[in-house]
Amino acid sequence: MARVCGSAGNEFDFRGSGLKEVGISLAQSCAAYLRALVRALCAGLLVSLVAHAQSSASASALTPAEIIARSKPSVVLVGTFNPLATPRFSFRGTGFAVADGTRIVTNAHVLPEPGSEQASQLAVQVKQASGAWELRKVLDLSLERAHDLAVLEIGAPALRPLPLKTELPEEGTEVLFIGFPIGGALGFSHVSHRGMVSAVTPVALPAPSSTTLNARNVSQLRAGSFNILQLDATAYPGNSGGPVLDARSGEVLGVINMVLIKNTKESVLAQPSGISYAIPIENVARILQR
């Protein structure tokens, strides 16, 4: 124990235990401050990382104009070519390049009947950078009528293939699609449309009565139902076989297949329903893996 004499001769105890208590209190305060500082730094780092991730995601998203510009060279005319006919090229639908760039996806229903004279004249036309169209003969094809899909094979040089996204899109996903609506009536120029995935629904929609069933409906019912993308968008004859693209990434989500008709086939042009359908691209991926 240490004693110190005061000016009046009084003695005071100056115990070490008091210093110890002050030291512990100071150490606890420092530890609490350091913990708070670490938490603040971690929180700041987390916010920074989230902001960076959001910024990166935003930067990686493409604009619709960029997606359309990149995709158009991969979208082709599908038809038949007869040098003795007028016109020599007869347009039947839209197609697009996938895989190695020599494979063209389209709808099976736009192709001529197998074994017919027109089937041997199957061809695609590719738009060159100059704006001219180049004819490419179809060398081989794979059909899957259950999903109304066809994969055509053409020769080199390969086109730029479009990337595929095989996961089903969520409802509300914004989409773009490119094709040649109404065929040659508007001239053979790429036309782009914008819409949204409004539903993922069974392809074989229930018919109100047996009189409204057709051969295509019956074939689909026999083959078994599968999911199809319902689009809040207007497609026209000529769009069939065209790619449905994710409006942010440019990946192919599906293949335009059909439109909902209000009354008669003629009303597709005069009174479009604004409802179109697309085959999910996962079905194309399975064909390519064979």
Q: Give the pLDDT confidence score for residue 12 in this predicted structure.
A: 42
C-alpha 198/C-alpha 214 separation (Å) is: 25
The SS3 assignment for 32 reads: helix
Each residue's pLDDT tens digit, 38-93: 565 555 544 444 444 443 444 468 999 999 999 999 999 999 999 998 889 999 99
Per-residue pLDDT, 50: 40
Check residue 271 and give its pLDDT.
Answer: 47
Q: What pTM does this model have?
A: 0.72
Question: Mean of the pLDDT values across residues 155-176?
Answer: 96
Asked if 156 and 102 count as a contact pair (C-beta separation under 8 A), the reply is yes
Non-local CB neighbours of 104 within 8 Å, separated by 6+ positions: 76, 78, 95, 96, 97, 98, 124, 138, 151, 152, 153, 154
| Contact between 246 and 237 (Cβ < 8 Å) | no
For residue 90, give both structure tokens.
Answer: 């007869």
User: How far apart are alpha carbons 132 and 267 in whole angstroms?
Assistant: 33
How confident is the model over 255-271, as pLDDT tens digits?
A: 999 765 444 444 444 44
First to last CA, the chain: 93
Please give the Cα distance from 24 to 17 (Å, whole number): 11
Task: Tell me the per-residue pLDDT of 94-142, one tens digit each, with 9 for 90 and over.
Answer: 999 999 999 999 999 999 988 888 888 999 999 999 999 999 999 999 9
**23 pLDDT above the threshold of 90:** no
pLDDT confidence of 30, banded at 50, 70, 90?
low
Query: What confidence score (pLDDT) does residue 225 get?
Result: 72
Instruction: State whether residue 7 is helix, strand or coil.
Output: coil
Question: For 249-287, b where at least 16 C-beta lie within 10 A, e where not — what string?
Answer: ebbbbbbbbbbeeeeeeeebeeebeebbbbbbbbbbeeb
Give residue 63's pLDDT. Answer: 96
Q: How confident is the model at residue 242 (pLDDT cuts 50, 70, 90)?
A: very high
CB 148 within 8 Å of CB 187: no
Q: In 10 A of CB 113, how many CB atoms?
A: 8
Look at residue 203 in the predicted model and tell me its pLDDT: 75
Quick one: residue 106, left, alpha or beta (phi over 0 = left, psi -120 to 50 = alpha)?
beta
The whole-angstrom separation of Cα 2 and Cα 278 is: 93
Pick the more confident residue, 27 or 1.
27
Q: Is the pLDDT of residue 196 over 80?
A: yes
User: So what's the pLDDT on residue 275?
Assistant: 84
- Which parts of 23-132 are beta strand (E)? 75-81, 89-98, 103-107, 122-127
Across all residues in the chain, what is the average pLDDT?
79
Residue pair 256/106 in contact by the 8 Å Cβ criterion: no
